[in-house]
Amino acid sequence: MRRKLVIGNLKMNGSITANQKLFAGVMAGVADLRNADYALCVPYPYLCQAQSLMQGSNVAWGAQNLCANEDAALTGAVSPAMLVDYGCTYVIVGHSERRIQLHETDDTAATRFNAALNAGLTPVFCMGESKEERESDWTEYVVGRQLDSIIRRYGAELLTKAVLAYEPLWAVGTDIPATPEQAQEVHHFIRKRVARCNAEVAENVRILYGGSVQTENAPALFAMPDIDGALVGRCSLEAKAFVGICQAANQV
Active site residue 167: yes
Q: Which of 97, 104, 129, 167 is catalytic?
A: 167
Q: Angle at the Cα of 40 (from 88 to 47), degrees rounded to 5?
A: 45
* DSSP secondary structure code for residue 199 in this structure: H
Q: Which of 95, 97, 104, 129 is catalytic?
A: 95
Cα separations in angstroms, 29 against 33, 34, 238: 8, 11, 12
Q: In angstroms, what is the C-alpha Rg of the chain?
A: 17
Report residue 118: phi and psi, to 5°: -65, -25
**Cα–Cα distance, 130 to 171 (Å, whole number):** 9
Segment holding 244, helix H or strand E: helix 239-251
Neighbours of 63 (CB within 10 A): 25
Residues 6+ apart with CB under 8 A from 45: none
The closest alpha carbon to 220, from 231, 207, 209, 206, belongs to 209
**Cα–Cα distance, 150 to 156 (Å, whole number):** 8
Active site residues: 95, 167
